[in-house]
Amino acid sequence: MRRFFFYGTLLDHDVMALVIGRRLPPAAFTPAVLAGHARRRAKGMTYPVVVPSPAESVLGAVVGGLAARDVARLAAYEGPGYRIARLKVRIAGALETVSVFEPVAMRLQPSASAWDYALWKGRHKRPFVARLRKALSGRSAYSRP
C-alpha cells in the first residue's frame, strides 16, 4: 500500500473515484503541505503542475492505502507528462516522505498563473468530469482528458 500527495484535480473526490474505480471516504484525504514548490496551471490546460519554488508551498492532501491497482490507474490517468517521485510533505506538523506525481519538465510547462482548486471546481470541473467519463468508458488505458 502506498501514500500519495495530491495537489490538483485528484483532490476532488468525484475525480478520484472515477480514476481509481472506487469512492474513498473523506477521511482518507489528510491535509498536507509540500514546501519549496508552487502550484501553477499547466500551459493550455485546466489542471496544475507543481514546480520548485523555494519561498512557496502547496496545500494538498495525502491519501494512503492505495493498492497497486489504484497506483496503476492513477499513473495511466496522469499519463507520460508525470513521473512518480518521493518527496517530503508536512502532515500535522511532521515531515513524511510520500509519493507525488511530478511533471516531467519537457512534457508539461507551467504557466505564470497559480492554479486554484475552488476556481477549477466552479469553472472547469463539470466539463472535465464529462470528458473523463467518456475517456474511461471507451478504453481500459486512459490518460487525463
Alpha-carbon gap, residue 6 to 60, rounded angstroms: 6
Write out pLDDT tens, residues 87-144: 999 999 999 999 999 888 667 788 889 999 999 999 999 999 999 999 888 754 455 5
Write out pLDDT tens, residues 51-80: 899 999 999 999 998 999 999 999 999 988
- pTM equals 0.89
Residue 32 has pLDDT above 60, yes or no: yes
Could you tell me which residues come within 8 angstroms of residue 81 by beta carbon, excluding any fewer than 6 positions away? 42, 103, 104, 107, 108, 144
